[in-house]
Structure formats: C-alpha cells, structure tokens
Amino acid sequence: MNWVIDNVDLIWELTLIHLRQSVVAIILGFVLALPLGWLAWRYRAARGGILTVTGLLYTIPSLALLPILPVLLGTPILSEVNLILALTIYAIALMVRSVADGLGSVDASVRLSATAMGYGAVRRFWVIEFPLAGPVILAGLRVTAVSTIALATVGALIGIDNLGYLFTNGSQRRIIPEVLAGIVAVLLIALLVDALLIAAGRMLMPWSRAKRRRARRGALPLEVSVA
Amino acid sequence: MNLIAEAIAWIFSGDTGLLAPIPIALLQHLAYTFASVAVAALIAIPFGWLIGHTGKGRDIAVAISGAARAIPSFGLLILLVLLFGVLRTPEAAIITFVLLAIPSILAGAYTGFEAIDRKVIDAARSMGMTEWQILWRVEVPLGLSLLVAGLRSATLQVVATVTIAAYVNLGGLGQYILSGLPLRRFDIVLGGALLVAALALVLDGIFALLQRASVPSGVRADQSVRFAPKRSASARTAPAVS
Amino acid sequence: MIQFTEVTKEFADGTRAVENFSVVIPAHKTTVLVGSSGSGKTTLLRMINRMVDPTAGEIEIDGASILKQDAVKLRRRIGYVMQNSGLMPHFTVIDNVATVPVLSGVPRKQAREAAMLLLDTVGLDRSLAMRYPSQLSGGQQQRVGVARGLAADPNILLMDEPFGAVDPIVRADLQQELIRLQRELGKTVVSVTHDIDEAFLLGDQVVILSKGAQIAQVGSPSEIIENPADDFVASFIGVDRGARALTLKQTERGTVVVDSEGRTQGAIVGGPG
C-alpha cells in the first residue's frame, strides 16, 4: 500500500493517458460503426460481408493485431497511434453489430407510418430510426467502452505505456500493490465511463425510461406446479 | 510487404533460435486453451443451465459478466502469477484463463435456454415430462447452438490471453512476438503475430461450423440462431423503405 | 367425470383468478368454459392437469382427489392441446405425436406405429410424419397437437383455445373435425374459448364465466339460449341486441328471420321440429 501512496502521481498520469487512448478509440469506433452498421442493416447483401469482415478482425488477438496493423497501414509499430487504431478496429467490430441490430429492432410499423406522414429518408433516420435504435446501440456502446478500457492495457507489452505499465513494471519488480493498483484503476475508469453512458442515455432517451427491464422470459402469467 | 515475405520465410524456416520450435509452441498454446476452456465449461455449464431452467440467479450472472468484462486479463494474470509465486506460474495462468472463460460460457448456457419459446417448455411440462426430462430432451438440444457460441467466444478470449501469457514465460505462440521486439527482429514479431492470427481464425472457423451443426434439424429449417438480441418479427419482414 | 368443489386460486401478487368455483364436468361429453379474458377460464383448465394448483378447494377425477396424486403421472394420463400447439420444434411430427407414450416407456417403434394411426384419425397425410413443425401450416400443426393429446389414449382431453391462432376457414374445418372425433371417441373434453359461437358449436355443456370464475350460467347451448339466466348472459350470448337477437319478417315467399341489423339470416321452413 505504501507503494501506491508514494506513486499516486504516476498512477494519475497513466490514468489520464489511458483515458485519452481509450476514449479516442471508443468515439472513433462508434462514429465509424454507425455508417457501417446502417449499411449492414439496410442492404441485406452487404450485411454478410460487413459482419464477416468485422467478425474476423475481432477474432484476431490484440497482441497479434498490434504488429500486423503497422505492416498493412504503414504506421510505426511502437506508437500510440497504432494502439489506438487497433482499439478502434475492435470497437468498430463490436459496435457494428449493435448498430445493425438496434436499427433492426425498430418496429417496422413506426417506420412506415413516418414515411406515410411525409418524412424523407434522411430526416426519418435521424429523427425516428436512430433514436429508437438508441437503447440497443447504447447497450452495445457500454460493452464496447468497458472492453476497450480493459483491452488498452495490452499496449504496455509493446512499450506503449498506459495503466498497463503498472502490470509490466509491477511484474518485473514484483510489486503486488502496483499491479493491484492498475487493476483497480482500470475497473474504476470502466465503471465511471459506464455510469456516464447510462446517464447520457437517460438524458437523451427519456422515453426508454418507461420501459422496465425487458422481460426476457415469455409471458406465462400463471404459476406452474412442478411437483 | 517485404516484411510479410520475411515473416513467412521465417515461419517456414523454423529457425527459432533459443525459442521453442513452432510446433511445440503451438501445442502449448492449444493445450492451455483447451484445458482451461474445458475446466471453465465444467463449472459454468451446470450453473448456466440451472439459471436458464429455473429463471433464478440471472441478475447475478449478468452482473458478474458485466464486471468481468472490465477486468484487464493481462493485469489479472500478472497479479495471480505474483501471488502464486514464480514456481507456480502455470497454475496461476490456468486459473486466470478459467476465470476469463467462465462468463461467456455461463452466458451461452443460460441465454440458450432463455431463447426457447416458453410455450414449448409449458407444453413439455403439461405432457408429463419431469424437470430432468425437460432439461435433457428439450432445453439442452434447443439451447445447444447458443452454448456453442458462448464456448466459441470463451475460447477466443483464452487464446488471446495465452498469447499474452508469454510475458510470464508460459510458452505458446506469443513468445515470438514478445521476444522478437527487444531483438528488433520484426520478421519474427510479425511471423508470431501471423501464426497467432491464423490459429484464432482457424479455431473460430471450426466453432462456426460446430455452431451451425448444433442447431437441431427442425429449427434449422425455420431460422438461423445468432448470438444477438432478438429482433422483432415485424422488423424482419418489413420491406426496405427508403 | 371431473368435479370442482369450492375451488379458489389466489396468485402470489394477490389476484384472485378463481373464487369459490364448483362444477361437475360429465364424462364422455364436451364441456366448454367460455368467458372474456380475466374470467379465470384458462386457470381452471390448467388446474385439471395440475399445471396450477388451487389455493383452496378440491378437484376430483372419477372420485379421486388429484391433489394427492403425482403431478407428472397425472399429466401423462391427460391429453393437453394448447393454442399454437406448442409442438417440440426439434422433433419430427411423428415423434411429437409419440412423445407421451415414449415418456411412459413404450418402445419408440411401437409408439411411432400407433402415432401413424393417429395421424389418420386427425386427418393428416402420412407423408407429413417425417417433417418438422416449422414446415407445416398452422392448421396442420394444430392437428398434430390434437393427435399428440390423444396419443396416450387418455380419458380426458383438455383444450386451451386450440383454434384461436388459425384463420376462420381453417378454424371452422378444425371445429368440425373435433365434433367428428368426439362422435368416434367419446372422450371427456374440457375446452376453453372466448368465442361464444364456438362454445355453442362444440359444447354439450357450456359454462359461462365472469370475472373470478364466477359462474353466470351452466347448461346446454339450447338451455342457455332459450333461458338466459340474467342480463350479463343475455348480452354475452347476444340475444338482447347481438347476433342472436332475431325477429321475423314477412316476405312474399314466406317468413324470414332477420337479425338486429336488419339483415336476413335465414328462412322459416316447415314447423317446430
């Protein structure tokens, strides 16, 4: 515990770096996933291709993707840009499915009535479809955000320092409190970002507050004797 | 592009110097992965089925999955290795892998059951099936596909973490990536990365086939089962309106 | 024969679906429980095979209390047909029909042979035997559901709005099938519906229920139409202002029967039968 107290500055500094890397990747991932997800939803033919490619990218372990990306894209391997790029790719892969499924969850009758009332396609997307897809997209965004924040620690293995540095350094010098501090810091940031997203969701989507937890189990309202 | 050629050349040359030969590393990687996923499955599947069948405990399971997602696997690995001591690194690593794999398999098990139409379960019960019969004759076969999806997800997560575990000298394919860096042998680094990527993609492909095969015939005729939130029927049949 | 004696059902959230319900359901006849949603009719039905247990009261089948019997064994002796048939999507049609006999230990081959005969009984083509439910139409699925209910040769057949999910033409077809089956087999059928016309068509005895499973009237269709017990029943079956409020009208060719909207429904032929 002494170690933690002595090194609060270091932890704080690394936390900020970690946040910066993660948040950039999350935002980029979200923004890029929107058009891709929309394409996958709108055009049946594109759906398979887009989901397959993103799925394949997501399958590749992070430690492997980090050396491969620079070769494909020309970015220097040991740079922060490389890490953020890899994190963004994972974020896109996770979000594309949420966006596609979110848009797909919008009741067709709502869309049809919007068109019948005279909404043009673009306006209808931003005013009707996207907001109604919100809850599903937000759920995906929360998962993506938390995963990205945890994943970013891998950067330390190739020398890109963020909170992962506490793991590599703690491992080499056998300082357990340091490693623990790293884990706790990552958890706290993840919790914080998740809470912020939930709050944002409540503010931006007041209609979804009325929906209680979606009842997953089918509605058989009667008790059943299982004796 | 040159580097890719060099990397591939390195792979086929098999010149791993002081590092383990590629086949050995591959075997280590697979052994750790499958052993861990198997143990995790033995733990997670019964609980998942219990949650899915009784409907209780779901909230705890979801909370665990959510929390687990936030834990950096790299950090957990280092922590356990330090706690167990250097001599017990393999044990510490396997425990890390097992803990990582459990949430996905658990989720696969109970979502597989939850996706089953409640009326089918009700019909089975009203015909006079015992709870065990409902479990084995109805829920398990119908929920199998999502369970396999959970196993697939867990396996890939473990493969990724075994790769990282080369950092604590656990062997596996990650050692080429990590050892190549200080040596500035980027052909080895890339070679290792390509091997890991290839392994992950092959395993994913195998699981994709398994997933499709695990959908019971009668259900396959009707729909494809995905590891995704259920979409409303109306969205599915809606004509594309632009 | 099935006997309900002062049965009450209160659910965990406090709703009293059934309040002091007593009725005798005669053997070998079709009894239809009819009422709007909330009348507790499905709850009553599901008490017979103990999918729901009463909070108070007694239910007896042929004089023996079912509450003391093993629920699983009881259910295997009672046929149950649901709306949307509830077929096992991963079993073939023939295996769906043979489910209960196989559960009870009948060798699968034998059970399947018997199931084939049942397919004939319910009017299904044998070529459908190896298909899966998802490959059948709604009407065909319902027939499979009925065949499955009959497979263990139960004395009692429970039907929960069995024809609700199919279109009117198929429904009429299935209703006639059921009437024919009953003539052949003579089971004790207890059916639940919200459709009074179906109740009058199928039922030897009709039980009209209001909220909380209060019995508004019990009797044969003729008894009820000729003598509705109160205004609720009269309005429910449509004899005051609805489809059964008929008047006579003289035309050149004779006397016709006209409904409350003024549309001619039929003509008077001959005298009272």
Per-residue pLDDT of chain A (227 residues; tens, 9 = 90+): 688 888 899 999 999 999 999 999 999 999 999 999 989 988 888 888 999 899 999 999 999 999 999 888 887 778 899 999 999 999 999 999 999 999 888 888 888 888 888 888 888 888 888 888 888 999 999 999 999 999 999 999 988 999 999 999 999 999 999 999 999 999 999 999 999 999 999 888 877 665 544 444 333 333 333 33
Residues C52, A227: C-beta atoms closer than 8 Å: no
Q: Are strands C2-10 and C56-61 parallel, antiparallel or unpaired?
A: antiparallel
Residues A222, C53: C-beta atoms closer than 8 Å: no
- pLDDT of B215 strictly over 60: yes
Task: Give the pLDDT confidence of C143-188 residue by residue, as tens digits.
Answer: 999 999 999 899 999 999 988 888 888 888 889 988 988 888 889 9
Nearest to C5 by CA among C52, C70, C54: C54
Residues A222, C70: C-beta atoms closer than 8 Å: no
Residues A225, C51: C-beta atoms closer than 8 Å: yes
Q: Are strands C16-25 and C205-210 parallel, antiparallel or unpaired?
A: unpaired
pTM, to two decimals: 0.84
> Would you say A169 and A179 are in contact if contact means Cβ atoms under 8 Å apart?
no
DSSP 8-state class, residue C89:
T
The CA distance from B113 to the nearest CA of chain C, in Å, is 14
> Would you say C29 and C204 are in contact if contact means Cβ atoms under 8 Å apart?
yes
Chain C residues with beta carbon closer than 8 angstroms to that of B221: 132, 134-135
Residues B126, C80: C-beta atoms closer than 8 Å: yes
Residue in chain C nearest B121 by alpha carbon: C86
Query: What's residue B1's pLDDT?
Result: 62
The CA–CA distances, whole Å, from A196 to A91, A122, A143, B19, B21 equal 18, 29, 13, 46, 48
Residue in chain B nearest A178 by alpha carbon: B79
- pLDDT of C2 strictly over 90: yes
- pLDDT of C20 strictly over 80: yes
Helix (H, G, I), strand (E, B) or coil at C83: coil
Least CB–CB distance from A222: residue in C43, C50, C70: C43
The one-letter amino acid code at C233 reads V
Residues 67-106 of B with CB under 8 A from A: 69-76, 78-79, 81-83
- Please give the average per-residue pLDDT across B144-167, as a whole number: 95
Least CB–CB distance from C134: residue in B122, B128, B218: B218
Q: Are strands C214-219 and C64-65 parallel, antiparallel or unpaired?
A: unpaired
- pLDDT of B229 strictly over 50: no
The whole-angstrom separation of Cα B68 and Cα A183 is 12
- pLDDT-derived band at B236 (thresholds 50, 70, 90) equals very low
The CA distance from A140 to the nearest CA of chain C, in Å, is 31
Maximum distance among all Cα pairs of chain A, rounded to whole angstroms: 68
Task: Give the pLDDT confidence of B105-121 residue by residue, as tens digits.
Answer: 999 999 999 999 999 99
The CA distance from B17 to the nearest CA of chain A, in Å, is 21
Mutate: best of C13, C46, C161, partner A, most A CBs <10 A: C46
Residues C50, A225: C-beta atoms closer than 8 Å: yes
The CA distance from B118 to the nearest CA of chain A, in Å, is 5
- A224 reaches C (C-beta below 8 A): yes
Nearest to A41 by CA among C116, B133, B240: B240
Nearest to C152 by CA among C87, C82, C74: C74
Reading the block at residue C58, the tokens are: 């007694």
The whole-angstrom separation of Cα C227 and Cα C210 is 18
DSSP 8-state class, residue B229:
P
- Worst-scoring range by mean pLDDT, B230-234, C136-140, C208-212? B230-234
Residues C11, A223: C-beta atoms closer than 8 Å: yes
Residues A64, B181: C-beta atoms closer than 8 Å: no
User: Can you tell me the ipTM of this complex?
Assistant: 0.85
- B196 reaches A (C-beta below 8 A): yes
Query: What's residue B76's pLDDT?
Result: 95
Residue in chain B nearest A114 by alpha carbon: B241
